[in-house]
A = this chain, B = another copy of it.
Amino acid sequence: MKTFDLLSGEEGRTQRQKRNTEVAALSTPNREEGCGTQGEGMSPETPSVDSSGSTFTPLVVVELASDTKEEAIGWLLGRIRDKQQNGGAEMLVEQLGPGVGAQEKQNPNMFLVGASWQRLLSGAEEVGLFKEFSDGSMRAFTSNNKHNFKDYKGDGDSFLSMAECQYIIKHELDTLRAKDETHVPGYTQVKLYPGKSIVRRMQSKGILIQLFPIHEREELKRLSFSWYKKVKLSLQPLDDIRHYYGEGLAFYFGFLEYFTFALLPMALIGVPYYLFDWEDYDKYVVFAVFNLVWCTVILELWKRGSASLAYRWGTLSRKRAFEEPRAGFHGVLGFNPVTGREEPLYPNAKRQLRVYLVSLPFVLLCIYLSLYVMMIYFQMEGWALTVHDEDPTFWTGILLFIPSVIYAVVIEIMNLIYRYAAEFLTEWENHRLESSYQNHLVLKVLVFNFFNCFASLFYIAFVMHDMVLLRQSLATLLITSQILNQFMEAFLPYWLQRRRNKKMIHKVQKRRTLEDVELPLADQVRLEAEMSTYLGTFDDYLEQFLLFGYVSLFSCVYPLAAVLVVLNNITEVYSDAFKMCRVFKRPFSEPAANIGVWQLAFEAMSVIAVVTNFALIGMSPQVKAYFPESETQLILWTVAIEHGLLAIKFILTFLIPDVPKHIQIKLSRLEFESLEAFKKKKMLEASELRKVVQ
């Protein structure tokens, strides 16, 4: 590619475009990564040349139902290919050829979507992508200024990563809007109105089955090797993860890594504490104080660390685009007060009614049920204890653990069922925006999971005052839920996947898995289409949230908890990496500037942790010894100091800047420069105006 760099500027453009067609034929496996990379090992028929003279690099797969009517297909492809001036997406589309082991049962309606370089660059500008500028700062990409961006070496180079290209294409397809069509051709029941996103409507009506970006096999192999295949002490390749999967996922793995490291001091203190003071349940004051400070400090540090990551990845000062309505959102046609476009409107009052009159009572009912189950657990616990006390044998000793284990399993099952119910309810609340949907879902799930997982521990600690039972219960809950989670999360989907793949691969003439470099594109795409869909980082964050709860709330009475969580998270990194690379379809990359609503959730938990730890401290025999005569005095002092600490915590959160100083300076410099440039431009205009006047 380097040789074409000499032809820069406007006059070189047409010439370069012609040569691009030759490049496609010349492409060798040595080409650098980037959108143009997937050529390696591809059967020679795939990188074809489209009518406008650009090379075709398939990036995204669109799968329509196999019985889709021809006219609908033709119309959709036409709209995707149409020029932007005519309201099209100006993309390149090709039908996926039959695989090597082609069969009758295969879905013929699979299409590969790509785009010319010019189109991708203008798309990058539309979605507001930030790229590294020649001076090392991150700036919003603009075509006018493209030569000043650091990695821009001419058209068709590795300037945009494949994940970015796929994100751009997804955005452009999502914003492909109906013009004057009243319905999808061939489907009179699938209504359209001007401005409606075509893809979302077809998706919600089941005509468009799925839309997913394709894997980049070479890159994936390299990534998975450096990520989980080699045994190593080094950190995760966060930049590579971001490059391949986008910022949203990279932030999850970054947080997972950070959280695990943050737990190390606690684990290190915990081990000797556990080993030497085995039976001394009362010495937990020091540990509670440590927890108190720890859970405040690590979250503040993460916020600053995450701002650094976001700055490096160019998402820190990225403005959020206007959100499109969700695919499932419905309502009566009206005019959006912001955009003035015609779109379905759903009265906010109606949604509030659904939230407060149905969802809220439902959540409260579920919490009541959960507390009811908890009381049954305590009855079982009491019964087991009686049996053991009456005639203690080895088996009754084991029996003592049975209620806790059963309760832990029941908790997990209840969480799972509730999760589906919460999703259904939130869907039914009919939120217009995905972000609002997510917030309501997260709130519902968090509140219930908090009660479901921690209520029994709070009850044991503050009502039963039984530190031995608290320790035993915490250990059982933590270990059981970790084992269940690891199983449900990685091994089950992998096993299902293997079964499905095996069937598939038998058909594809004994070719093996995705890892096989010789697999033709058509087969690769069909294999990927069969993989499970990754549903986002929700469950992964939720798991970390609950682990954070176990550790920060009660770990002072069971110092091994931190060690268990560290061990869990080390396997979690590997199993999550594995499932991203091998089990799931590639997800679309999502720009993110932080871990979003989860930062808030973790901070709320840390406030609860401060209160809980302080209550535990107040209950400890050492502290009680200071107030031998009056319990009232003890409580009043504990409460007063706790209020002071909470106040200090809030003041600290407020005082510590969320963005590190050196990044603040860089951001202000950018802002200052753009302001100066604007002023200069204005001054120039003014002086020109003056000339005209004179």
Write the residues of chain A forming the contact surface with B, with a CB cutoff of 8 angstroms. Answer: 10, 13-14, 17, 84-85, 118, 122, 125-126, 143-144, 322, 337-340, 611, 631-632, 635-636, 639, 643, 665, 668-669, 672, 675, 679, 682-683, 685-687, 689, 692-694
Contact = CB atoms under 8 A, between A and B. Distances in A.
A243 B76 CA distance: 57
Contacts of A693: 10, 13-14, 17
Given A635-B632, A635-B639, A685-B144, A679 B338 contact: no
- Ranked 7 nearest A-B pairs via Cβ: A338-B668, A337-B665, A338-B669, A13-B693, A635-B635, A631-B632, A639-B639
A123 B683 CA distance: 11
A675 to B, nearest CB: 7
Contacts of A340: 669
A87 to B, nearest CB: 11
Contacts of A85: 683, 687
A672 B341 CA distance: 11
A669 B322 contact: no
Tell me if A's interface is mostly helix, strand, loop or mixed.
helix
Contacts of A685: 143-144
A685 B687 CA distance: 25
A146 B154 CA distance: 41
A687 to B, nearest CB: 7
A378 to B, nearest CB: 21
Contacts of A84: 683
B672 A339 contact: yes
Contacts of A689: 143
A10 B693 CA distance: 7
B10 A692 contact: yes
A356 to B, nearest CB: 12
B143 A686 contact: yes
A84 B689 CA distance: 14
11 contacts: A14-B693, A14-B694, A122-B682, A122-B686, A126-B682, A143-B682, A322-B675, A337-B665, A340-B669, A611-B643, A635-B635
Nearest to A126: B679
Contacts of A635: 632, 635-636, 639
Contacts of A322: 668, 672, 675
Nearest to A144: B685
A665 B682 CA distance: 30
A146 to B, nearest CB: 12
Given A639-B639, A682-B125, A683-B85, A669 B10 contact: no
